[in-house]
Amino acid sequence: MTARTLMVQGTASSVGKSIVTAALCRLFVQEGLRVAPFKSQNMALNAFVTPDGGEIGRAQAVQALAARVVPTVDMNPILLKPEADSRSQVVVLGKAQGRLSALDYQARKPELRELIAGALARLRSDHDVVVIEGAGSPAEINLKARDIVNMFVAELADAPVLLVGDIDRGGVFAAFVGTLELLEAHERARVAAFVINKFRGDIKLLEPGLGMLRERTGVPVLGVLPYLQRLQIPDEDSLSLDDRRARRRAGPGELEIAVVRLPRISNHDDFQPLEHEPGVVVRFVERASELEAADLVILPGTKSTLADLAWLRETGMALAIMERAARGEYVLGVCGGCQMLGAKIIDPARIESEQEAGEGLGLLRVDTEFGFEKRTTQLRGQAAESSFLASEAGAQIAGYEIHMGRVSRAPGCRAAFSITERNGQQQAALDGALSADGVVVGTMIHGLFENPSLRRSLLGVLRSRKGLPQPTELPTPSVVDEFDRLAGVLRENVDMKLLLGLIGR
């Protein structure tokens, strides 16, 4: 059996395509269907590792969770991880294939079309419905000739298209009409309905515009989705950090965690579970002055460690972090952030940047050397020693690794975690490092704060240090519950008869 398909495209980037796709995946599962997500090409620095060690976009892993299926590399056969304005690391079917300029990548697109078709065909053979996500806008007329992610995929899959627009930005009706005007006639015919996203206010004031839109374009509005505050689902788009950067400072009785917004920040969703804890304010900051009074400063992952390390020094962030550690205030580095906290970073083959070597901040006794082999694993392990990150040695954790740099500890330097399993195979390895006084911790493990026990442990240590009372019990946000919430919102606000009809129900 070949699965039916439905595609979600948008009038622009960051209009909500990924979330709408996840909502559709869960709704169709609730209808008793076997569902899989698909995005042919994803450009993102937030990535995830599949159980067999393949690397895909974080959004497709989240959508697989919504669909209650195991994520596979077929769900996102091409992942582009930008390293500079016109160069990206190219990941094909879960494996890094090297760095390509934008022009070189364009030249490879004919062969990539065949790869995309194969991945989509495999998904369709195993499921009832495949929900496909586009990228950016299908009306980028300068790129359409080499399109492999929007209308090319819609035609390949013979998929009706839902066109999503963000009304919170303003100009949604112009965006819908303008997008249709720039499409070819056969492409316009694929647009089955509009979806207005992020609406706030009285729907009655919007209704005249909906009728005029239908009259002008002949395309119905499937529904108007409300603006959902503090959605507890990872967002892979760094544009979402623009809203979170300006978040208020912590008030009395609250904790403040400052995450440095590096120019090439990756996997910023690592810290989203902390954002949903009561009494915790997480801020993404770009100035040294914004680190003051934070209870914890985090250096996150990056796609270009040496380049972002230079930015830390230029902005004064590096000095502020070193002074903070000297005062005995907590600093955490994750993946690239861990590497920056070390002594040396060596990249002799210039795998990640144009520099061959650089000096780290010297807060951890570790060196990093980049090699051609990329480590992508799901793992299990435990805290090697007690620290502010995990107050009990032996505390169990799960997470994943995505990095090309190998970290080595100096003799006598304590590790942060011991790894017991990688990709389902037993291991005996150490991860990360602790400073001698314990105020600086580095780890190469992503997804740590999705472990409720580790999250509670960290917040407990921070509260004790600040003299705040401990809550009797911290809630454990459930992403699964959020998918059910999303599906419920979809049911309440769209024409279900029209929606189900698009997949032949």
For residue 285, count other CB atoms closer than 10 A to its CB: 17
When pLDDT is averaged across residues 256-272 and rounded to a whole number, the result is 94
CA distances from 64 to 24, 26, 57, 377 (A): 11, 9, 11, 18
Closest CA to 332 of 403, 470, 435, 468: 435
Local confidence band at 110 (pLDDT 50, 70, 90 cut-offs): confident
Both ends of the chain: CA-CA distance in Å? 15
- The confidence score (pLDDT) of residue 242 equals 56
When pLDDT is averaged across residues 138-145 and rounded to a whole number, the result is 90
- The confidence score (pLDDT) of residue 239 equals 47
When pLDDT is averaged across residues 298-326 and rounded to a whole number, the result is 95
Residue keyed to tokens 């300029």: 101
- The confidence score (pLDDT) of residue 434 equals 97
Pairing between β-strand 95-101 and β-strand 87-92 as defined by DSSP bridges: antiparallel
Bigger pLDDT: 413 vs 303: 413
Local confidence band at 238 (pLDDT 50, 70, 90 cut-offs): very low
Bigger pLDDT: 25 vs 244: 25
Residue 240, both tokens: 């979402």
Kindly report the backbone phi and psi dihedral angles of residue 180, in degrees, each rounded to the nearest multiple of 5, phi listed first: -60, -40
Catalytic residue flag (residue 338): no
Strand locations in 355-501 (E): 357-359, 366-383, 396-409, 417-422, 425-431, 433-434, 440-443
Catalytic option among 127, 268, 403, 446: 446
pTM for this prediction: 0.87
- The confidence score (pLDDT) of residue 479 equals 66
pLDDT digits (tens, 9 = 90+) for 180-192: 999 999 999 999 9
Name every residue whose Cβ is closer than 8 Å to that of residue 404 and which is 6 or more positions away in sequence.
96, 351, 352, 370, 371, 372, 373, 374, 375
**pLDDT for 476 beyond 80:** no
Local confidence band at 477 (pLDDT 50, 70, 90 cut-offs): low
Count Cβ atoms within 10 A of the Cβ of residue 265 and give its class: 0-12 exposed, 13-18 middle, 19 or more buried.
buried
When pLDDT is averaged across residues 265-275 and rounded to a whole number, the result is 91
Catalytic option among 335, 338, 403, 413: 335
Closest CA to 444 of 381, 401, 393, 384: 401
- The confidence score (pLDDT) of residue 303 equals 85
Least confident of 37-46, 292-301, 342-351: 342-351
Beta strands across the sheet bearing 41-43? 41-43, 78-84, 87-92, 95-101
Pairing between β-strand 296-299 and β-strand 255-260 as defined by DSSP bridges: parallel
When pLDDT is averaged across residues 64-92 and rounded to a whole number, the result is 91
Question: What is residue 50's DSSP assignment?
Answer: -
CB 284 within 8 A of CB 243: no
**pLDDT for 317 beyond 50:** yes
With a pLDDT cut of 90, the percent of the chain lying above it is 76
- The confidence score (pLDDT) of residue 351 equals 74
**pLDDT for 106 beyond 90:** no
- The confidence score (pLDDT) of residue 251 equals 86
- The confidence score (pLDDT) of residue 348 equals 84
Count Cβ atoms within 10 A of the Cβ of residue 437 and give its class: 0-12 exposed, 13-18 middle, 19 or more buried.
exposed
For residue 477, count other CB atoms closer than 10 A to its CB: 18
Collapsing DSSP states into helix, strand and coil, what is residue 66?
A: helix
- The confidence score (pLDDT) of residue 35 equals 98
Domains and CATH numbers, the chain: 4-40+113-231+482-502 (3.40.50.300), 238-477 (3.40.50.880)
- The confidence score (pLDDT) of residue 84 equals 66
Average pLDDT, the chain: 91
Name the strand (E) or helix (H) holding 29.
helix 17-30
- The confidence score (pLDDT) of residue 236 equals 55
With a pLDDT cut of 70, the percent of the chain lying above it is 95
Question: What is residue 2's DSSP assignment?
Answer: P
**pLDDT for 237 beyond 60:** no
When pLDDT is averaged across residues 379-392 and rounded to a whole number, the result is 93
Local confidence band at 353 (pLDDT 50, 70, 90 cut-offs): confident
Alpha-carbon span 458 to 47, nearest angstrom: 24
**pLDDT for 85 beyond 70:** no
Alpha-carbon span 57 to 44, nearest angstrom: 7
